[in-house]
């Protein structure tokens, strides 16, 4: 009987696995080392390990859901293979023109050199033909020229190509014809066309999004099909459904994802945000910050009303991407982040990471650099082993590394280790401010959910730096992203640009566009195997005031597209604009001011195929005396010299128990140092709520 759903999140250091039994509701969690040279090895090791823990066979697996960083890492590390672009005649330099923006403000613009284009201009080819903004044909498509372009790329061995023709979001006929010619003349090429990737205006962003999709497509296709084949062999051809996490907070079958790989660029971080939202929501918190600390990086996001915030203004590395994605900021501040001395003689931490291979000094795998993990081990804040004793750590190697770095800085050993952690904590705090203060949110109004293997290690310091009320740490925090993969519906987004002033809006045209988007959504969900009765469709729209450069997205109601529908969407836009920017023009005319017209820009439909989520159960009552969970003491350095800190086994902590610092709470995949002046309280669901108590 197929009863197990397995979530697997592949990180830079560990591969996290959670199995959910849909019959009796039980959860099993574990970890296995990641295998950067071939991530599929760690993937299959994780499945074998969790099945062995449960005593189950592959024939009992109902589905596997995977969060991957393959596309993310390729973009972050700029590992882009040779890529070609086909565009409309006269638009060869669209990537060179780009947008008039520079990093770090106007003051540094004189010293900023525009980075290399994702496609050099000598690999951009033009094709004749032209569409108007409404999709009408100005000049017919140049078939002969298109054949010549396809052969030009074929003859030069350019096997990955993006196609972005002017205004093809309004009518894709020219792009479809170009695709047909490429398939005939250059059949081995991987091709992405903008009308399939992003039916949205803004030529530069649409071109870049299409090229990013094309750039990661060969790598993702090899990776996903390779894992799917190995999974099929490992389960003796049982045909297990295999899903991949998308950046928008949904999943899609592996067979579909390889055709739209750009949708996975924030696959892993999105799963973590959803897992944190689910656990925190059960505990009564629907307004949280999420902090996912791994071996290589820390990902932060915001959850409001129980839902992670979304954006279409995201970037991955230096590449803009207009696809819907959970609004995540990533900083190189993980357990493997390397501490180093700048030319000016100051201490820096990250963004370079030791990763899983060779890893920190204490892993004993040939690492040569001091990392955040080494600093924690030197100070006694983590035990001399990982994964409940499965991986032994070399304490002396960590101490020797810290000692050498301290000598270069002219500091004491403990002072240097504390400095490493202080820099890392401020790196994380600055990332949190990017998703809060920069978006007009007061960080003090949130509880933070910290998870991942390294996420809970610095929470006491972050409470002080940010002024947080509390930090929630779920049971098995190192596996929360994998748990999030089991809480995710199948989800796909479709968009269509339709620019129109609100006072001239053609409601019949709006209804027609929504109907077309909904047909696409139903077709996707049908292909994913969902019965029509289970389909859920959500409408939204992007609006702005006439003259503005950017839009605000709001939900749009179900039902007929009539005057009531229009008024509801416009009212929601005014409300959201005021929430985001502090003002709106809803009643400007009645107050004697200028009435700014509203403009509709994009219409969107999200198709959702719901799945059964694991339930978050309350723990049975137990002994609330913290002595019951105490396993001993060890010297730990917090703010001054070493102190004898009580060590607690988290699995023995009952609801209502309070652990007062100095103490350390340990479990299989993570550790929580409770500093002096702080306390960790166990709630009914087994979460630890860490607060400052000496104020």
pLDDT in tens, 154-171: 999 999 999 999 999 999
Indicate if the pLDDT at residue 324 is higher than 90: no
Band (pLDDT 50/70/90 cuts) for residue 25 is confident
Q: Give 497-521 pLDDT, tens digit per residue.
A: 999 999 999 999 999 999 999 999 9
CATH pick for 78-214 out of 3.40.720, 3.40.50, 1.10.1330, 1.10.3470:
3.40.50
Amino acid 104: pLDDT: 53
Amino acid 652: pLDDT: 94
Query: Strand pairing of 124-127 and 84-88?
Result: parallel
The pLDDT of 62-78, averaged and rounded, is 80
C-alpha closest to that of 427 among 496, 334, 361, 510: 334
Amino acid 589: pLDDT: 47
C-alpha closest to that of 605 among 674, 691, 542: 542
The pLDDT of 548-566, averaged and rounded, is 93
* Chain Cα centroid distance, residue 399: 34
Q: How many CA atoms lie within 13 A of 426 on its CB side?
A: 8
Which pair of structure tokens corresponds to residue 47? 């499945």
Q: How far apart are alpha carbons 582 and 70 in whole angstroms?
A: 39
Q: How far apart are alpha carbons 601 and 608 in whole angstroms?
A: 23
Amino acid 151: pLDDT: 97
Decide if 292 contacts 478 (C-beta within 8 A): no
Q: Give 212-252 pLDDT, tens digit per residue.
A: 999 999 988 888 888 888 888 776 666 788 899 888 888 88
Least confident of 310-314, 648-652, 688-692: 310-314
Amino acid 236: pLDDT: 67
Which pair of structure tokens corresponds to residue 599? 């403009």
Measuring CA to CA, how many Å separate 157 from each of 8, 183, 220, 294, 559?
Answer: 36, 15, 20, 39, 51
Q: How far apart are alpha carbons 2 and 394 in whole angstroms?
A: 42
* Chain Cα centroid distance, residue 313: 14
H-helix or E-strand containing 36? none
The pLDDT of 579-594, averaged and rounded, is 70
Indicate if the pLDDT at residue 396 is higher than 80: yes
Amino acid 60: pLDDT: 82
- Backbone φ and ψ for 123, nearest 5 degrees, come out as -110, 20
The pLDDT of 310-339, averaged and rounded, is 82
Name the more confident of 32 and 36.
32
Amino acid 300: pLDDT: 92
CATH topology of domain 4-75+220-264: Nucleotidyltransferase; domain 5 (3.30.420)
CATH 3.40.50 domain span(s) along the chain = 78-214
Least confident of 6-20, 66-80, 329-343, 455-469: 66-80
Highest mean pLDDT among 12-16, 431-435, 516-520: 516-520
Q: Give 340-377 pLDDT, tens digit per residue.
A: 999 888 999 988 888 767 889 999 888 899 999 999 99
C-alpha closest to that of 266 among 327, 217, 319: 327
Amino acid 550: pLDDT: 85
Band (pLDDT 50/70/90 cuts) for residue 102 is low
**150 contact partners, CB below 8 Å, separation of at least 6:** 181, 182, 184, 185, 186
- Backbone φ and ψ for 253, nearest 5 degrees, come out as -60, 150
Q: How far apart are alpha carbons 571 and 573 in whole angstroms?
A: 5
Query: Strand pairing of 4-10 and 61-67?
Result: parallel
Decide if 533 contacts 520 (C-beta within 8 A): no
Superfamily of domain 267-333+425-485 in the CATH hierarchy: ATPase, nucleotide binding domain (3.30.420.40)
- Backbone φ and ψ for 481, nearest 5 degrees, come out as -65, -40
Indicate if the pLDDT at residue 106 is higher than 80: no
Q: How far apart are alpha carbons 458 and 289 in whole angstroms?
A: 15
Q: Give 614-623 pLDDT, tens digit per residue.
A: 878 888 998 9
Amino acid 112: pLDDT: 60
Band (pLDDT 50/70/90 cuts) for residue 12 is low
* Average pLDDT in the chain: 89
Indicate if the pLDDT at residue 105 is higher than 50: no
Amino acid 291: pLDDT: 95
Residue 163 region, left (φ>0) first, then alpha (ψ -120 to 50), else beta? beta
Indicate if the pLDDT at residue 54 is higher than 80: yes
The pLDDT of 658-687, averaged and rounded, is 94
> DSSP letters along 343-389, please?
TTS-EEEEEEE-TTTT--GGGTSS--S-BHHHHHHHTTSS-SEEGGG
In 89-171, where do the E strands start and end? 124-127, 130-131, 137-139, 160-164
Amino acid 352: pLDDT: 83
Indicate if the pLDDT at residue 99 is higher than 80: no
Q: How far apart are alpha carbons 173 and 138 in whole angstroms?
A: 13
Indicate if the pLDDT at residue 115 is higher than 80: no
Amino acid 588: pLDDT: 61
- Backbone φ and ψ for 572, nearest 5 degrees, come out as -65, -35
Triad 478, 480, 484: Cα angle to 5°? 155
Least confident of 4-18, 277-291, 399-413: 4-18
Q: What is the pTM of this model?
A: 0.82
CATH 3.30.420.40 domain span(s) along the chain = 4-75+220-264, 267-333+425-485
Which pair of structure tokens corresponds to residue 324? 């819907």
Least confident of 243-257, 542-556, 562-576: 243-257
């Amino acid at each position: 009987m197929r009863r197990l759903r397995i979530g697997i999140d592949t990180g830079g250091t560990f591969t996290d696995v959670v199995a959910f039994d849909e019959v009796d509701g039980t959860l099993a969690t574990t970890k296995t080392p990641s295998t950067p040279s071939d991530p599929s090895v760690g993937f299959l090791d994780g499945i074998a390990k969790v099945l062995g823990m449960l005593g189950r066979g592959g024939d009992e697996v109902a589905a596997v859901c995977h969060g991957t960083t393959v596309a993310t890492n390729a973009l972050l590390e700029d590992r882009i293979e040779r890529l070609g672009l086909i565009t409309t005649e006269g638009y060869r330099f669209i990537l060179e023109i780009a947008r008039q923006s520079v990093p770090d403000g106007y003051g540094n613009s004189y010293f900023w050199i525009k980075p290399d284009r994702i496609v050099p201009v000598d690999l951009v080819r033009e094709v004749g033909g032209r569409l108007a903004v409404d999709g009408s044909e100005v000049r017919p498509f140049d078939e002969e020229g298109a054949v010549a372009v396809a052969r030009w790329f074929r003859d030069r061995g350019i096997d990955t190509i993006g196609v972005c023709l002017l205004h093809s979001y309004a009518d894709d006929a020219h792009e479809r014809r170009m695709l047909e010619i490429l398939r005939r003349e250059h059949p081995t090429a991987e091709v992405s066309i903008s009308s399939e990737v992003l039916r949205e205006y803004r030529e530069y962003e649409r071109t870049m999004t299409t090229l990013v999709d094309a750039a990661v497509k060969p790598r993702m296709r090899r990776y996903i099909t390779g894992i799917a084949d190995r999974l099929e062999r490992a389960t003796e051809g049982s045909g297990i459904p295999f899903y991949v996490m998308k950046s928008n907070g949904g999943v899609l079958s592996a067979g579909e994802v390889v055709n739209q790989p750009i949708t996975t660029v924030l696959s892993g971080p999105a799963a973590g945000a959803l897992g944190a939202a689910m656990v925190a929501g059960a505990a009564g918190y629907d307004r949280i910050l999420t902090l996912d600390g791994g071996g290589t990086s820390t990902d932060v996001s915001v959850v409001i009303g129980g839902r992670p915030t979304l954006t279409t203004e995201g970037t991955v590395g230096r590449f803009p991407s207009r696809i819907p994605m959970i609004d995540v900021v990533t900083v190189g501040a993980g357990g493997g982040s390397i501490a180093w001395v700048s030319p000016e003689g100051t201490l820096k931490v990250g963004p370079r990471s030791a990763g899983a291979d060779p890893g920190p000094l204490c892993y004993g795998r040939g690492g040569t650099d001091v990392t955040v993990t080494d600093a924690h081990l030197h100070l006694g804040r983590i035990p001399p082993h990982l994964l409940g004793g499965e991986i032994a750590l070399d304490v002396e190697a960590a101490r020797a590394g810290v000692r050498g770095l301290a000598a270069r800085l002219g500091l004491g050993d403990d002072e240097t280790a504390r400095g490493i952690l202080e820099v890392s904590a401020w790196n994380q705090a600055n990332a949190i401010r990017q998703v809060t203060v920069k978006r007009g949110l007061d960080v003090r109004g949130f509880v933070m959910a910290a998870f991942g293997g390294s996420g809970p290690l610095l929470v006491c310091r972050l409470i002080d730096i940010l002024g947080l009320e509390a930090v929630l740490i779920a049971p098995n925090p190192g596996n929360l992203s994998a748990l999030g993969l089991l809480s995710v519906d199948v989800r796909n987004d479709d968009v269509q640009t339709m620019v129109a002033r609100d006072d001239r809006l053609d409601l019949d045209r709006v209804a027609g566009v929504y109907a077309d988007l909904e047909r696409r959504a139903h077709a996707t969900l049908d292909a994913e195997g969902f019965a029509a009765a289970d389909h859920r469709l959500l409408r939204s729209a992007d609006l702005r005031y006439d003259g503005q450069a950017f839009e605000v997205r709001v939900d749009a109601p179900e039902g007929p597209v009539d005057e009531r529908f229009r008024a509801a969407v416009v009212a929601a836009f005014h409300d959201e604009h005021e929430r985001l920017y502090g003002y709106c023009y809803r009643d400007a005319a009645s107050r004697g001011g200028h009435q700014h017209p509203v403009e509709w820009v994009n219409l969107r439909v999200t198709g959702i195929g719901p799945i059964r989520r694991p339930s978050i159960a309350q723990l049975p009552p137990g002994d609330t005396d913290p002595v019951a969970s105490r396993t001993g003491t060890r010297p730990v350095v917090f703010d001054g010299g070493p102190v004898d800190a009580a060590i607690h086994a988290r699995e023995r902590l009952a609801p209502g128990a309070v652990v007062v610092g100095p103490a350390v709470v340990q479990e299989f995949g993570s550790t929580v140092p409770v500093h002096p002046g702080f306390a960790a309280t166990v709630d009914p669901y087994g979460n630890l709520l860490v607060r400052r108590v000496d104020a």
